């Protein structure tokens, strides 16, 4: 924890400085880009765009920096605060350290949306929520309209409003996730249209759908909240961020020839100390030098000047920052100025307006590395068990700190067809000594909020307040049962499985007063899948059974019972008998003709 506070995160510092300096101007715009090389030849690019509009002009629908489409949606749905996330990929916390923005600007895989809605009661809040999701669905070309009552929860302690709300508003928090949504270019285009400079100037000109969605991890977020100053003057603030981790080698591949080729033999750097090292066997050594890259290579385009709307005061004119050790050489375009910060790692660039900007870093031996903070908590969630009927959930929390316990809220929203048995909630703890101990769950779980599911109406909501002791790993498990869906409830790709939304972990970090969020990966739940010709089979089978039973009973009731020879006599009188008789007669006549011909 102390480690964390010493290396003050650039994100936190940035937020705080911007907040205090100019957050209360009536109408302004800021943008900022932070580039940070990460281990394993990755590059984190963290874009941030923030603009304000006064509450008054927002209410009168005079939109300048705040996009009109989004503003009208908020007013129509009486939404006071909105958070929307589009995320793909997985943040590799073990090698990349803490998440950007402490995880507060990212969502679970897919789409995540939560909003505070002003409404007199729950039903009306839900109606407004549906309006909101439908409208956002159209605006962002996402399937947000599928956020229905089964995917909506009302978290109790997991989220806190970030804006300043008036006490008169009756706010309802609603939260919805779409873990199966594939975030793609069609979501980026409307996202860019919301920006005042529209991707034509400033750092947003670097966005390219091909590169962004090719990233190892990316998260787009939109946050809208009212911010009030001490003297009661309020502004509506929209903040859009895009964070992505690009693989440098992968991004440098040219668009025209994107197929990865193996490194030619002579360029391979092999570990010659290995006994098996020979002409055809190579153990590649880890490169000791940092990769060379430039903005134009990584993003496929160069940065197109600055967005002229940013006001040129203080920090905001240095809209591009890079976190590499100061001794590394960085080449920048001529018109730009470099400003090195005191922390020894950060340098920012003052860009000239309407002149393309590029920065490139040559390949250099890495002597010092930018220190990465270790996450406060590791979390991992998996589905265990086998069979089509039952399964289990296993959540592993690891506290890397040797000194302090970590307290957090664990929030899970499960689909209704996954029916957890909370009485089977068990905890095991592995301490410093590495010995596994079974402990009662109540020792780890401080508080529980559980709202059971109702079939086809709402999902399970589970919020746990947990505490993991120092240098320990806690494993929580519980069992669940898989429900059988109705025939029409299966999606077309039923055998792929059903997405279970990621769990949200909110770390109660009192030291910084900034919430830290971690999201687990989303899960895939296999449900028993029927044969989809089933209804017709059922119709035919039951019809056959009914017809058999009916026919037997009906025949017994109406048929006359006679002896065998009597039946033959009767048979001659029936239609069948007469037809048979005629057939025999015809046959005989034909035979007679045949014999005559012969």
Q: Does residue 127 bind another protein (CB under 8 A)?
A: no
Pinpoint the alpha helices (H) of 66-109: 68-76, 93-96
Determine which helix (DSSP H) or strand (DSSP E) holds 557, and give its type and residue range.
helix 534-558
CB 529: neighbour CB atoms within 10 A? 14
At 49, is the secondary structure helix, strand, or coil?
A: strand
Instruction: Out of 46, 135, 221, 401, point to the residue binding another protein (CB under 8 A).
Output: 135
Q: Does residue 593 bind another protein (CB under 8 A)?
A: no
Q: Does residue 446 bind another protein (CB under 8 A)?
A: no
Token duo for residue 387: 């069979």
Closest by Cα among 341, 378, 114, 80 to 221: 114
Q: Per CB under 8 A, which region of 7-15, 226-234, 466-474, 541-549 contacts another protein?
A: 541-549
Token duo for residue 203: 């750092």
Torsion of CA 302, 308, 311, 315, to 10 degrees: 10
- Residue pair 151/177 in contact (Cβ under 8 Å)? The answer is yes
Q: Does residue 534 bind another protein (CB under 8 A)?
A: no
Token duo for residue 26: 């009536």
Q: Does residue 554 bind another protein (CB under 8 A)?
A: yes
Closest by Cα among 61, 72, 63 to 29: 63
Q: Per CB under 8 A, which region of 53-61, 170-178, 232-240, 526-534 contacts another protein?
A: 53-61
Distance separating alpha carbons of residues 574 and 582, to the nearest angstrom: 12
Q: What would the x/- binding string for another protein be over residues 201 to 220, using CB under 8 A?
A: x-------------------
Instruction: Give whichever of 229 and 544 is closer to another protein, judged by the CB atom.
Output: 544
Q: Per CB under 8 A, which region of 102-110, 291-299, 402-410, 540-548 contacts another protein?
A: 540-548
Q: Does residue 533 bind another protein (CB under 8 A)?
A: no
Beta bridge partners of 523: 500
Q: How far is the CB of 355 from another protein (least distance, A)?
A: 12
Distance separating alpha carbons of residues 337 and 316, to the nearest angstrom: 14
Instruction: Give whichever of 179 and 305 is closer to another protein, judged by the CB atom.
Output: 305
Instruction: Out of 26, 62, 146, 209, point to the residue binding another protein (CB under 8 A).
Output: 62
Q: Does residue 200 bind another protein (CB under 8 A)?
A: yes
Q: Does residue 573 bind another protein (CB under 8 A)?
A: yes
- Which 8-state DSSP code applies to residue 506? E
Q: Does residue 597 bind another protein (CB under 8 A)?
A: no
- Residue pair 240/234 in contact (Cβ under 8 Å)? The answer is no
Q: Per CB under 8 A, which region of 158-166, 189-197, 423-431, 458-466 contacts another protein?
A: 189-197
Q: Does residue 594 bind another protein (CB under 8 A)?
A: no
| β-bridge pairing 320-323 and 29-38 | parallel
Instruction: Out of 8, 68, 424, 528, point to the residue binding another protein (CB under 8 A).
Output: 68
- Cα–Cα–Cα angle for 470, 475, 479, rounded to 5 degrees: 155
Q: How far is the CB of 182 from another protein (least distance, A)?
A: 23
**What burial class does residue 434 get, using C-beta atoms within 10 Å of its C-beta: 0-12 exposed, 13-18 middle, 19+ buried?**
exposed
Q: Does residue 521 bind another protein (CB under 8 A)?
A: no
Q: Per CB under 8 A, which region of 274-282, 327-335, 399-407, 565-573 contacts another protein?
A: 565-573
Q: Does residue 69 bind another protein (CB under 8 A)?
A: yes
Which positions touch another protein (CB under 8 A)?
27, 57, 60-65, 67-69, 72-73, 76, 135, 139, 193, 196-198, 200-201, 307-309, 536, 539-540, 542-544, 546-548, 550-551, 554-555, 557-558, 560, 562-563, 565-570, 572-573, 577, 580-581, 584
């Amino acid at each position: 924890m102390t480690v964390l506070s010493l290396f003050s995160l650039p994100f936190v510092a940035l937020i705080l400085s911007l907040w205090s300096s100019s957050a209360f101007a009536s109408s302004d715009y800021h943008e900022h880009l932070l580039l940070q090389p990460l281990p394993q030849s990755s590059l984190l690019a963290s874009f941030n765009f923030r603009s304000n509009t006064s509450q008054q002009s927002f209410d009168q629908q005079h939109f300048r920096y705040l996009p009109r489409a989004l503003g009208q949606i908020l007013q129509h749905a009486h939404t006071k605060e909105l958070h929307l996330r589009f995320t793909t990929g997985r943040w590799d916390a073990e090698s990349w350290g803490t998440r950007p923005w402490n995880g507060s600007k990212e969502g679970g895989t897919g789409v995540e949306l939560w909003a505070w809605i002003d409404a007199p009661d729950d039903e009306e809040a839900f109606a407004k929520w549906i309006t909101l999701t439908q409208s956002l669905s159209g605006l962002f070309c996402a399937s947000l309209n599928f956020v229905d009552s089964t995917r909506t929860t009302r978290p109790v302690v997991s989220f806190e409003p970030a804006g300043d709300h008036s006490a008169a508003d009756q706010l309802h928090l609603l939260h919805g996730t779409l873990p199966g949504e594939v975030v793609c270019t069609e979501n980026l285009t409307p996202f860019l249209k919301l920006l005042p400079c529209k991707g034509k100037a400033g750092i947003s000109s670097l966005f390219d759908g091909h590169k962004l969605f090719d990233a190892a991890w990316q998260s787009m977020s939109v946050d809208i909240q009212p911010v009030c100053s001490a003297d009661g003057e309020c502004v509506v603030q929209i903040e859009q961020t895009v964070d992505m981790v690009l693989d440098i080698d992968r991004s440098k591949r040219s668009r025209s020839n994107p197929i990865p080729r193996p490194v030619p033999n002579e360029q391979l750097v092999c570990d010659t100390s290995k006994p098996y090292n020979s002409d055809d066997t190579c153990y590649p050594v880890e490169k000791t030098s940092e990769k060379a890259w430039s903005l134009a290579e990584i993003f496929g385009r160069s940065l197109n000047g600055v967005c002229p709307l940013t006001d040129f005061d203080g920090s905001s004119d240095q809209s591009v920052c890079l976190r590499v050790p100061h001794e590394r050489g960085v080449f920048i375009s001529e018109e730009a100025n470099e400003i090195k910060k005191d922390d020894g790692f950060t340098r920012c660039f003052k860009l000239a307006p309407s002149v393309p900007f590029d920065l490139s870093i040559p390949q250099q031996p890495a002597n010092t590395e930018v220190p990465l903070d270790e996450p406060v908590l590791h979390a991992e969630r998996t589905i265990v068990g086998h069979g089509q009927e039952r399964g289990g959930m296993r959540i592993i929390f690891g506290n890397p700190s040797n000194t302090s316990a970590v307290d957090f809220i664990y929030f899970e929203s499960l689909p209704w067809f996954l029916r957890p048995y909370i009485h089977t909630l068990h905890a095991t703890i592995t301490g410093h000594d590495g010995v596994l101990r079974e402990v009662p769950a109540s020792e780890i779980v401080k508080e529980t909020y559980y709202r059971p599911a109702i079939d086809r109406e709402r999902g399970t909501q589970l919020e746990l307040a947990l505490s993991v002791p120092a240098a320990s790993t806690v494993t929580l498990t519980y069992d669940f049962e898989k429900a059988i869906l109705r025939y029409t409830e299966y999606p077309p790709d039923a055998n792929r499985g059903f997405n279970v939304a990621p769990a949200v972990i909110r770390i109660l970090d009192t030291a910084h007063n900034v919430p830290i969020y971690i999201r687990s990966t989303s899960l895939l739940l296999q449900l028993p899948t029927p044969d989809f010709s089933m209804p017709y089979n059922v119709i035919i089978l039951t019809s056959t059974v009914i017809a058999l039973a009916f026919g037997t009973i009906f025949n017994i009731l109406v048929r006359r019972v006679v002896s065998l020879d009597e039946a033959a006599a009767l048979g001659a009188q029936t239609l069948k008998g007469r037809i048979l008789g005629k057939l025999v007669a015809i046959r005989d006549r034909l035979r007679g003709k045949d014999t005559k011909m012969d």
